[in-house]
Structure 1
Amino acid sequence: MQQSCLCLFDVDRTLTGQQDLGAPQCPVNQVLSGIKDTAYSGGDLTLSQVGQSMAGTFCTQCYVGIVTAGDASGANSQERAALVQRLASRGKLLSQEWSGPSAAGQPRRACKASDVFQSTLVAGCLDGTKQEAAKALLTMLSMRGIGILPSNVWLFDDRADNIHPFQGSGMNARQISCASRDHRMGTGVCGATNQEIQEQPGVKLCGREDELVV
């Protein structure tokens, strides 16, 4: 890819899977014993295939970041450190500092396009407002001399309510963890697989062969 691009990832059930759930249900996931993940019912941090490494995906050529409704177990957590280490090892991560409403443990809120985050690691954006965080990140990157077209931005997230709002934004969003779903919660189970990290344009939900309108 010649133009600069940006890959943004949700955390819970995207970069991570359900805590403590490895083989046989999630055979490619990695349970990190002793590192706590406080999301949902809690447990040991369990990384999805993508959470372990983006190797082999187009995102290794891109700037990378996180936009999550949660707080990745809070400021200075071992979970945050583990996620940052793995993102930085494959993609272009500008900073290991966190920004966003819950950067230091504050309550989550709706993110706005007018927000100017200090890094591409954004915690605490209410579900349904992640597209506004993505717009804010494009502004922040532009201020740093990094121009990225909206059409070269991708969000990967397990929840449909974070994918739908990207319609009409000019950016791309793809639902992941399609093969492993908790239909009661509307979330993924095992998280993102490398096969799901596709460069294809559009806004796409699990089980839909047709692309939603961008």
Structure 2
Amino acid sequence: MKKTIFLITILLLPLLLIAQQQTTTIKVSARSVLIDSSPEFKATVALSSSYSSLPAEMTTLEILKKKYKSALKANDISWSNLKKDSNGFGYESMGYGKDGIIYEYRTKSVEKMKKFLKTKSLGMQMINYSSIITIDEEEAAKLSETALANAKARAAIIATAMGKELGDIKEIEDLNNRYGEEIESSIYYDRPIGEYFYMINVIFSVK
């Protein structure tokens, strides 16, 4: 029995030494917020007789398009600003049995976007609407700086609660990786337009 205990102790000793050598770390998640002052707006609508209970002869695509054009014109929106099936597969991919068309509308005008969202017509259904922003290097640098400061402040509070001091940064994980790309966010009634959250994970040592 003593020999067995001795052998187990010998086997576990390297692991115990490694555990003692490992320093305590604090991992926190932090974010900073960007409110883009001039986002682009995008809305996607579907036009189809699937959204109407009227007889088929009264809801052909040509009739629906004519009525929708008139409704848009009444709201001072040009039909030429709508793009058909921008992703290659439009209404066919939605799984409805009837014919239909998907249109995409883009604008940088808040008033135009509001008018478009208010436009109603027979056979028209709003699929989604969003704001689109692009983050450049200068904006990314500011977001990084703010998020890192927030991470350090949070980690310092935890270190103080542990009775220790906050040490150096051991690791940073960037959860974004979208600089220079279009970032699309849904528009919500209770959130600012053009809002973007920059997220990072940071690991600090303590001493």
Instruction: Choose between structure 1 and 2: higher helix proportion.
Output: 2
The TM-score normalised by the length of structure 2 is: 0.25
Greater CA radius of gyration, 1 or 2? Answer: 2
The TM-score normalised by the length of structure 1 is: 0.24
